[in-house]
Amino acid sequence: MIDPVGPVESLAGDRWRDAWGAALADVEVDVTTAEELLARLHAGGEDVPEELLTPQDWIAPSLQGAIPMEFSDRARRLLQRHLEVSERLAEALVQVRAQRRALGKMERAERRPVFFDKPL
């Protein structure tokens, strides 16, 4: 009889599933944090908590074998959310750059004129 679970799954058992579940949960927390940050910034909130502004180093989990089938739908939804947040972050970055350029032009235009007292 062939083991339908596969060699990696049968060797690691619940630890293998737990590791994948924890890895997905970590990514979900990161995506949710990015979504919350974007929502607050878009709403014009200036009271953004420091933990949202401080990026955490991402450490890739050392997972062996394929993702368990039971997590496939969750992983697909998470990937879709991640792509949407990435797109929104890129758009926000473009907007910030455009606003900084416009602000720089306004600051230069607001310089006080220099007058000389000299009869003509």
Confidence of residue 114 (pLDDT cuts 50, 70, 90): confident
Q: What is the pLDDT of residue 4?
A: 43
Domain boundaries, the chain: 7-56+65-108
Q: At residue 97, what are phi and psi to the nearest 5 degrees?
A: -60, -45
* Matching residue, tokens 């944090």: 33
Instruction: Give which of 21, 7, 31, 4 is closest to 63, Cα–Cα.
Output: 21
Indicate yes or no: pTM above 0.85: no
pLDDT digits 0-9 by tens, 50-96: 776 677 777 777 787 888 999 999 999 999 999 999 999 899 889 88
> If you average pLDDT over residues 25-47, what whole number do you get?
84
Over 80: is that where the pLDDT of 30 sits?
yes
Q: Tell me how crowded residue 35 is: count the other CB atoms within 10 A of its CB.
A: 14
